Amino acid sequence: MSAVDNKTINSIFEKLDEDFEEVKSWRRYMHQYPELSFQEEKTANYIEEKLKSFGLDVQRNIGGHGLISVVEGKQPGKKIALRADFDALPIEDEKETPYKSTKPGVMHACGHDGHTAALLGVAKVVSQYKDNLKGSIVFVFQPAEETPPGGAKYMIEDGILEDVDYVFGAHLASDIPIGKVGVGEGYQMAAVDKFAIHLKGNGGHGARPHQTTDSLVIGTSVVEALQKIVSRQIDPLQSAVVTIGVFQAGNAFNVIPDTARIEGTVRTFDPAVRDKVEKEIRSIIEGITSAFHATYELDYLRGYPALFNHKAETDVARDLFKETFEDENVVEFAPTMGAEDFSYFLEAKPGTYFRVGSKNDDEATHFPHHHPRFDIDERALVNIEKAFATIINHYLL
């Protein structure tokens, strides 16, 4: 960065620090009034209201309740997209805080309220420097990250990335200390698939099993066989998970049930492994039901693809963050079998997705994402802002 660039980014950082209490209040408001995926109309209204108060134009109803605001520089240059998500989860908020969710059974338990507040903060401050920009910024506010098929896919299909050069996203991380940022190239989050198996046998009296086709016993054979896919069909140097979360059959101790239902999830990184696991699941169900003279229906839903961080943009972000947060505070993004629909953005355009530490010494900030007592050290909001501002400074200032 040149001396002029340093002066500009330092001025931006100062304004972000000055606005911390305001950004924190935005996050707390959204935390109190969460909305589930595909239902985020009031949250979208709130985001639009804030963007317009900054003097920015807003495009609404993109891919559902999604919004974008484009800040155009006075000079030509690159176009980058920065994304935040804003849906909540069907979880009861068990925290005792002034900003606890007011909606029973709905909670921001993953930090999306923080992502949105931080991106609003960046939009407010950086838009004041648009005369200095060499290029433009697309501020992307995305709904429905938590529920496949997700909001990212629909927003991209509506064309928001058509002329974008690079795309970046951030996520709060309750497993990383405040002040640290996690960066990593390659596959960082898994593809997520969901399956539901409906087994149809022939029920009857528990004392006469020979006159039945026992869907429960057949189901146990299916579950056991599915657990051997990873250990016996997948290269041990590859990563895959097959997890059964639902097994329902019967409702009386002396009745052999007609039907059984099995539901589970598959997590993979490599597309070829993803294909193989699905093929093996289909083969196992077909073989076992045929052997036991039962029938079945399989509903197999392919969810988000694996999230792949591009090397060049990840290297740039890592180097930039070492300047902003210091070398020792930039840590490796440990790959996880969790999923994230920002993967669609990275399939469409080069970029990277990074994690921003949000825990401190207070145990209230240590709960994992999707926990009913999830909370953050709100100073992490400024760190998200500064990370995004650092990226803007590199590409556009």
**Active site amino acids:** 87, 145
- Relative orientation angle of helices 380-396 and 3-18, to the nearest 10 degrees: 150
User: Closest Cα to residue 239, out of 197, 283, 276?
Assistant: 276
Rg (CA), the chain: 24
List Cα–Cα distances, 310 to 101, 144, 185, 208, 336, in angstroms. Answer: 37, 24, 6, 61, 17
d(CA 6, CA 27): 29
Tokens encoding 133: 């920009």
Q: Look at residues 327, 7, 364, 310 and name the one whose alpha carbon lies nearest to residue 169.
A: 310
Nearest to 239 by CA among 272, 265, 273: 273
Q: Which helix (H) or strand (E) holds 381?
A: helix 380-396
Q: What sign has the CA pseudo-torsion 339, 344, 350, 356?
A: negative
Strands (E), the chain: 59-62, 66-72, 75-85, 134-142, 166-177, 181-183, 186-189, 191-200, 204-205, 240-249, 255-256, 259-268, 295-302, 307-309, 330-332, 351-359
Number of H helices, E strands in the chain: 11, 16
- Output phi, psi for 8, to 5 deg: -65, -50
CA distance 322 to 317: 9
Task: Compute the distance between CA of residue 356 and CA of residue 177 in angstroms, rounded to an integer.
Answer: 9
The 3-state secondary structure of 33-71, one letter per residue:
CCCECCCCHHHHHHHHHHHHHCCCCCEEEECCCEEEEEE
Cα–Cα distances in Å, from 350 out to 128, 295, 332?
A: 27, 45, 19
Closest CA to 333 of 213, 169, 219: 169
Strand 255-256 to strand 204-205: parallel, antiparallel, or no bridges (unpaired)?
A: antiparallel
In this structure, the strands spanning 351-359 and 181-183 are antiparallel
